[in-house]
Amino acid sequence: MAFLGPDEWQAVALSLKVACLAVAASLPFGLGVALLLARGRFPGRHLLNGIVHLPLILPPVVTGYVLLLGLGRRGPIGGFLESAFGIVLAFRWTGAALAAAIMAFPLMVRAMRLAIESVDPGLEEAAATLGASRLRVFFTVTLPLILPGVIAGAILAFAKAMGEFGATITFVSNIPGETRTVPSAIYAFLQVPGGEASALRLVVVSVVVAMAALVVSEVMARRVTARVAGR
Amino acid sequence: MSLSVAIRHSFAGFALDVGFAAPAGVTVLFGHSGSGKSTVVKAVAGLLRPDAGRISVNGRVLLDTASRVSVPVHRRGLGYVFQDGRLFPHMTVQGNLTYARRATGDRFDSVVDILGLGRLLDRRPGALSGGEAQRVAIGRALLSDPAMLLMDEPLAALDAPRKAEILPFLDRLCSESGVPILYVTHAVAEVARLANHIVLLENGRVLRSGPAAQLLADPALVPHMGVRDAGALLNARVVAHHPDGLTELAGPGGPLFLPGVSRAPGDRIRVRILAQDVILTRTRPKGLSALNILEGTIRTMHHGDGPGVVVQLAVDDEHLLARITRRSAETLELATGQTCFAVLKSVAVSQVDIAEPAPNP
């Protein structure tokens, strides 16, 4: 890519990798939580809702620090993961993906939840009276109707994951080639003399990705409305 | 008995305690809104779990809270037609009709034919009229090969022309499919046209349960049917279509002349005669424009709270209701056991009031 220098391209490629893993790994959980919040009637629903939205409100540094405390190599969960499975998250790109996934989770869940709430539960009842099991109802009625919403949520989460900074830099630092994603790279370029041009090119990349994600997710959200209306 | 129900359920401010058994054919759950009809159908379908009770269809127990049996909705094998259709918006009509796994083969063709769905198969639900959508919903439920068809006010969301469009399909369905039907409505016209058996609900209780002809001809139930809608059923046979547009029927007590009935001579039909369209006289009237004069015997007279009296008249072995004023009843000195004449204007009977005769299951 002629537009970007090798360092810059490395940051963009890493951000893409981190965002892809973050979205892919959190998608099933996001869908599950969105279903629980939209359809579930259980004690603690509001608590779950609050916890999901917490990363949206908390300073990202706090989220990153909590991750470091819990999942660092000396943290209770991090220590267990390393001794039992040899998995290390702190200061690795997989850790960056985890931080990005958690920060993007509220956006993903919100888009999916709105799509699920727009589906008439009566359609699911109708499918059940026709002999469909819960699983078949989900895959033949619910999922097709909310699919555009699921895609919209995934795209929003992807864009958010691409741009996550505070929690990432706190949890996995800013290691070139390992955890230096686009925002970390912009920050790093701004710290050195003559880095403004590189920073600006990455800013352009960030703006384009964010705009594209917003447009596509908006189109998908309209598709949900059209699908549910049967047009 | 194809359906037997005994359930108790309480909501905030409303208690349901209902028990009835229904024979094969069309059973209508009738009552005002809030009487608990929909709750009963939902419980039969398994969409609502009553506090206590037992439900069985064709001898198969679907719910028995005493022995902790509750068959899940998708294993009950009952078809459900919802008031609002509930077609899957992301599928075509064809996709909706074949959604149930058992919807295959020649059954598909015959259901599509009965309900006139051939031209609609490639359309999406969003492109259907209300009446078309409801026909598709009925077809979809039928194609799941149900042990019983539950219909929860399937016509309530439609305007009068759409209702008139669907009723003939329902007639055919009831007489040709052989599937027992539990039909919920608060419209007496639908009861009179479709029911073989009626379960009358009021405030969460069964007020009466019995054969349609018997309940519709019961003067005491007129207030529950609505005084303007009450009317008894007469069975008759089409004799001939006359060139002046009238159809001659052989009914109880002699010939009946009605405006053009679209049935072939020899067909048996049942006709609903509204109680308020019947005039009573003590002697056979002469020089009258009304064509239909039936001789009968007064069986019972029911006095309500208002100025009206409902008279039940036995005509041969059938019954007719007449709603007249108390003043007329006193002037004519009407009394039980008397012979009198029921006068009926031909044009008072509309096509909507004519249906297939009740089968004898």
The CA-CA-CA angle for residues A157, A162, A166, to 5°, reads 100
Average pLDDT of the segment spanning B258-283: 86
CB contact under 8 A, B126 and A231: yes
Contact B139, B112 (CB under 8 A): yes
Residue A159: Cβ-neighbour burial (10 angstroms; 0-12, 13-18, 19+): buried
The side-by-side arrangement of strands in the sheet containing B254-259 is: B254-259, B246-251, B231-241, B268-274, B354-355
Same domain, yes or no, for B91 and B60?
Answer: yes
DSSP letters along B213-254, please? HHHHT-GGGHHHH-TTT-EEEEEEEEEEE-TTSEEEEEETTE
CB contact under 8 A, B141 and A133: no
Q: Residue B7 belongs to a domain with what CATH number?
A: 3.40.50.300
Find the residue in B nearest to A141 (Cα): B88
Interface test with A, best of B57, B62, B88 (most A CBs within 10 A): B88
Same domain, yes or no, for B80 and B208?
Answer: yes
Interface test with B, best of A118, A124, A125, A130 (most B CBs within 10 A): A130
Pick the CATH number of A6-228 from 2.130.10.10, 3.40.50.150, 1.10.3720.10, 3.90.650.10: 1.10.3720.10
Same domain, yes or no, for B247 and B180?
Answer: no
Could you tell me the pLDDT band of residue A101, with boundaries at 50, 70 and 90?
Answer: very high
Is residue A96 over pLDDT 90? yes
Interface pTM (ipTM) of the complex?
Answer: 0.81
Is residue B359 over pLDDT 70? no
Query: How far apart are alpha carbons A126 and B78 in whole angstroms?
Result: 11
Share of chain A above pLDDT 70, in %: 98
Same domain, yes or no, for B235 and B203?
Answer: no
Element (H, E) at B272: strand B268-274
CB contact under 8 A, A132 and B87: no
What secondary structure letter does DSSP report for B357?
Answer: P
Same domain, yes or no, for B246 and B351?
Answer: yes
Residue B167 covered by a domain: yes
Is residue B321 over pLDDT 80? yes
Same domain, yes or no, for B248 and B134?
Answer: no
CB contact under 8 A, B73 and A128: yes
Share of chain A above pLDDT 90, in %: 58
Same domain, yes or no, for B35 and B150?
Answer: yes
Whole-structure pTM over 0.95, yes or no? no
What secondary structure letter does DSSP report for A163?
Answer: H
Q: pLDDT of A31-48, one tens digit each?
A: 999 999 998 888 888 899
Domain of B288 in residue numbering reads as 231-355
Query: How far apart are alpha carbons B234 and B261 in whole angstroms?
Result: 15
Same domain, yes or no, for B146 and B197?
Answer: yes
Same domain, yes or no, for B277 and B197?
Answer: no
Residue B144 covered by a domain: yes
Residue B223 covered by a domain: no
Residue B361 covered by a domain: no
Same domain, yes or no, for B50 and B121?
Answer: yes
Q: Where do the domains of chain A lie?
A: 6-228
What secondary structure letter does DSSP report for A158?
Answer: H
In the prediction, which pLDDT does A226 show? 79
Same domain, yes or no, for B212 and B236?
Answer: no
Query: How far apart are alpha carbons A105 and A99 in whole angstroms?
Result: 10
CB contact under 8 A, A129 and B77: no
Find the residue in A nearest to B93 (Cα): A230
Number of domains making up chain B: 2
Sequence-distant (6+) residues with CB within 8 A of A44 are: none
Q: Give me the helices (H) in B46-159, please.
A: 93-97, 105-115, 130-143
- B211-218 contacts at long range (C-beta below 8 A, 24 or more positions apart): B211/B358, B212/B28, B212/B358, B213/B318, B213/B319, B213/B358, B216/B191, B216/B192, B216/B272, B216/B321, B217/B312, B217/B318, B217/B319, B217/B320, B217/B321, B218/B312
Three-state secondary structure readout of B138-207: HHHHHHCCCCEEEEECCCCCCCHHHHHHHHHHHHHHHHHCCCCEEEEECCHHHHHHHCCEEEEEECCEEE
Q: Residue B262 belongs to a domain with what CATH number?
A: 2.40.50.100
Residue B82 covered by a domain: yes
Strand B60-64 to strand B52-57: parallel, antiparallel, or no bridges (unpaired)? antiparallel
Return mean pLDDT, chain B. Answer: 87
Of B168, B193, B216, the residue at which a domain comes to its end is B216
CB contact under 8 A, A231 and B82: no
Is residue B361 over pLDDT 60? no
Chain A residues whose CB is inside 8 A of the B74 CB are 128-134, 137
Residues in chain A: 231
Would you list which residues of chain B are within 8 Å, Cβ to Cβ, of chain A? 45, 47, 72-80, 82, 84, 86-90, 99-102, 124-127, 140-141, 144
How far away is chain A from the Cα of B290, in angstroms, using its nearest Cα?
50
CB contact under 8 A, A128 and B74: yes
CB contact under 8 A, A129 and B75: no
**Quick one: which of B172, B194, B115, B180 has its CA closest to B147?**
B180
Return mean pLDDT, chain A. Answer: 89
Contact B295, B344 (CB under 8 A): no
Could you tell me the pLDDT band of residue B360, with boundaries at 50, 70 and 90?
Answer: very low
**Quick one: which of A104, A135, A103, A141 has its CA closest to A122?**
A141
Average pLDDT of the segment spanning B130-139: 90
Token pair belonging to A20: 């892809």
Query: Higher-confidence residue: A74 or B15?
Result: B15
Query: Higher-confidence residue: A99 or B346?
Result: A99
Q: pLDDT of B235-255, one tens digit each?
A: 889 998 999 888 888 888 888
Query: Higher-confidence residue: B222 or A96?
Result: A96
Residue B226 covered by a domain: no
Same domain, yes or no, for B90 and B141?
Answer: yes
Residue B98 covered by a domain: yes
CB contact under 8 A, B88 and A127: yes
Q: Could you tell me how many CB contacts below 8 A there are between chain A and chain B?
A: 71
Residue B11 covered by a domain: yes
Would you list which residues of chain A are within 8 Å, Cβ to Cβ, of chain B? 120, 122-123, 125-134, 137, 140-141, 144-145, 227-231
